[in-house]
Amino acid sequence: MNICHYIGFDVHKKSISYCVKTADGTIVEEGKLRATHQVLRQWAGKRQEAWHGAMEATLFSGWIYDDLQPFAAKLEMGNPSMMKAIGAAKKKSDRLDARKIADLVRCNLLPGCYVAPVKMRELRRLLRYRNTVVKHAVAVKNRMSGLLMEVGAEYQKGQLHGKKYFEELLGRLEEVPETVKEMLRLSRGALEMFEETQQTIVHRLQKEPALAKRLELLRSIGGVGEITSLTWALEVCDPKRFPSIGDAVSYCGLTSALVSSAEKQQRGPISKQRNEHLQSVLIEAAKLAPRWNRQLAAVQQRERERGGNRNQATLAVARKLVAYLLAVDRSGKRFEERNPAPQEEGKTVA
pLDDT in tens, 15-64: 999 999 999 999 999 999 999 999 999 999 999 999 999 999 999 899 99
122 plus 102 within the same structural domain: no
Whether 229 maps to a domain, the answer reads yes
Are 193 and 232 found together in one domain?
Answer: no
Please give the full DSSP string across 106-157, using - where no structure is assigned: HTT---B-----HHHHHHHHHHHHHHHHHHHHHHHHHHHHHHHHHTT----G
The CATH code of the domain that includes 31 is 3.30.420.140
pTM listed for this prediction: 0.87
The answer to the question of residue 348 being in a domain is no
Together in a domain, 318 and 258: yes
CA angle 234, 294, 257 (to 5 degrees): 55
Query: Last residue of some domain: 78, 106, 134?
Result: 106
C-alpha to C-alpha distance for 185 and 140, rounded to whole angstroms: 11
- Contact call for residues 98 and 10 (beta carbons, < 8 A): yes
pLDDT in tens, 82-106: 887 666 667 788 999 999 999 999 9
Is 212 among the domain residues?
no
Closest CA to 315 of 274, 344, 343: 274
303/343 Cα distance (integer angstroms): 23
Task: Note whether 101 and 149 are same-domain residues.
Answer: no
Q: Which residues are CB-contacts of 37 (< 8 A; sequence separation ≥ 6)?
A: 63, 67
125 C-beta neighbours (distance < 10 Å), count: 12
In a domain, 342, yes or no: no
Parallel, antiparallel or unpaired: strands 74-78 and 15-21: unpaired
Question: What is the spatial distance between Cα 101 and Cα 54, in angstroms, rounded to a whole number?
Answer: 7
Cβ contact 235:278 at 8 Å: yes
Q: Are residues 188 and 167 in contact, defined by beta-carbon separation less than 8 angstroms? A: no
Alpha-carbon distance 248 to 241, whole Å?
9
**Which of 106, 137, 170 marks a domain boundary?**
106
Mode of pairing for the β-strands spanning 5-11 and 264-270: unpaired
- Looking at the fold, whether 101 and 173 belong to one and the same domain comes out as no
Same domain, 92 and 125: no
Domain-embedded: residue 71: yes
Residues 327 and 227 in one domain: yes
Q: Indicate if 243 and 309 belong to the same structural domain.
A: yes
Same domain, 126 and 152: yes
Domain check: are 125 and 92 in the same one? Answer: no
Domain-embedded: residue 137? yes
pLDDT at 346 exceeding the cut of 50: no
Residue 112 included in any domain: no
Residues 300/316, Cβ–Cβ less than 8 Å: yes
95 and 128 share a domain?
no
The rounded distance, in Å, linking the Cα atoms of 82 and 88 is 12
- The torsion angles phi and psi of 43, rounded to 5 degrees, stand at -65, -45
| Segment 153-186, tens digit of pLDDT | 888 988 999 989 999 998 888 888 999 999 999 9
The count of domains in the chain is 3
Average pLDDT of the chain, as a whole number: 90
* Residue 66 within a domain: yes
Domain that holds residue 228: 223-331
Of 266 and 29, the one with more pLDDT = 29
Instruction: State how far the Cα of 275 lies from the Cα of 104, in Å rounded to an integer.
Output: 25
